[in-house]
Amino acid sequence: MLTCCIPECRTGYPEPKKQKNKSEASSTSTKCSLPLFPKDENLKKQRLRAIPRKDFVPSKHSRVCSRKFHESSLQLKKNDSNVAYFFPEALSYLFLPPTPKRKTSLALAINRCKKERNSVEDSLYLHLLILISLLVLKNSREKLMDHHWFMEIHENFIQDSATVFFFFFAISIENVIPKIIYGLKTTKDLTYSMFSDGPPVLLQEVNHICSTAFIQRFYDINNILAYLKNRYVPSFVSKILKVMIFIFCTKKDVSLPKIGSIQRV
C-alpha cells in the first residue's frame, strides 16, 4: 500500500470507521496521486527542506501525495505506455478479472475416462509386447540353443502343443553351475504363478502388488520379481543373475520344474 511520508497525513491509509464531520470525510475520500521524489539532487533537497521531519532520508519507495502541492507546482507527465485501469462509474465486471469456473461433474467424468483409457492402453501395450517378444524369439532361438543349460530347459518344456507362456526367473551360479532360485510364469491370458527355492509362494503374498489373478500392468512383473528376490535368502554368497526367457510350451498342463533340477552337467 502506498502512503504519504508527510507527518499526520492519512493519504494511503485506510479510512477511519467514524468521521468527525462530512468535510473531513470528503477531503480524505478525494483521489490523489503519490509521485516519487525527483532524481535530480537539487530538486530532492529542495523538497526535503519543506518536509517537517528531522534527518529524514527518503527511500526508493518514499512518496508525497499531490495534496501537498499547488496545482501549478505539480505537472503530470504523459506516458503512452500507461493503461487506464480505474473508472469510477464503470461496472465492476468490466475491469475485474473473471473468477475461475468450477469443475462440473462432466469434467470429473472426463478425467475418470482418461484414467480408464490409460489403464486399458497399458493392458494393450502388455499384449503387444508379448506378441513382439514371441516374434523376436523365433528369430533368435538358434542363438540361444548354443547354450547347454538353455538346451536342458528347452527339452523339459517344449514338446507337442501350442500353449504359450513367459518364464521369468533368476539363476544362481555356484561353481559355474546355474541353478534356478525363483521365477514367475505368465501365460498368454495374463494369469501367473510363482515359485521359489524354499516354501511355496502363494498368490495371497503379492496381493499388495497385484490384487487380481491377472497381470494388469507391465511393471507388476518387475515388482513381483523384486518381492521374490527379497523373499529368497541364500545360505551362501552367490551371484544372482536375472534372466528373462520366452518359451513355447508344448503341453497344455505344464508343471513347473523342481528348483535346482536344471543344472549343467
Instruction: Render pLDDT for 75-117 as a digit per residue (tens, 0 to 9).
Output: 777 767 666 666 667 777 776 777 777 766 666 677 777 777 7
258 pLDDT more than 80:
no
**Confidence class for position 255, pLDDT limits 50, 70, 90:** very low
Q: How far apart are the first and last CA of the chain?
A: 87
**C-alpha to C-alpha distance for 29 and 210, rounded to whole angstroms:** 69
**What residue spans of the chain are helical by DSSP H?**
22-29, 41-50, 92-95, 105-144, 148-157, 219-231
**What is the grid cell recorded at 76?**
503530470
Which amino acid appears at position 140 of this protein? S
Mean pLDDT of 188-206: 80
Q: Give just the sign of the alpha carbon dihedral 171, 173, 174, 175.
A: positive
Total-model pTM: 0.32
Distance between CA atoms of residues 231 and 29, nearest Å: 78
- Domain ranges (residues) in the chain: 19-97, 108-248
Q: Do residues 256 and 157 make contact, with C-beta atoms less than 8 angstroms apart? A: no
What residue has cell string 467424468?
109
What is the arithmetic mean of pLDDT over 206-231? Answer: 81
Instruction: State the sign of the Cα–Cα–Cα–Cα dihedral 221, 226, 229, 230.
Output: negative
CA gap 213, 185 in Å, rounded: 12
User: For position 252, what pLDDT does the model report?
Assistant: 39
Identify the residue with better confidence: 133 or 207.
207
Alpha-carbon separation of residue 150 from 154, 171, 176, 217, 237 (angstroms): 6, 12, 14, 28, 24
Sequence-distant (6+) residues with CB within 8 A of 214 are 189, 190, 191, 192
Grade residue 153 by pLDDT with cuts at 50, 70 and 90: very low
Please state which of the ranges 123-137, 138-152, 153-167, 239-253 shows the lowest mean pLDDT: 239-253
To 5 degrees, how large is the angle CA 162–CA 168–CA 172?
A: 130
In sequence order, the β-bridge partners of residue 246 are 166
Return all residues near 94 (Cβ < 8 A) that are at least 6 apart.
87
pLDDT at residue 202 is higher than 80:
yes
pLDDT at 260: 38
- CB contact set of 110 (below 8 Å; sequence gap of 6+): none
State the burial class of residue 236 (Cβ atoms within 10 Å of its Cβ: 0-12, 13-18, 19+). exposed
Better-scored residue on pLDDT, 59 or 74: 59
Judge contact between 64 and 46, C-beta under 8 A: no
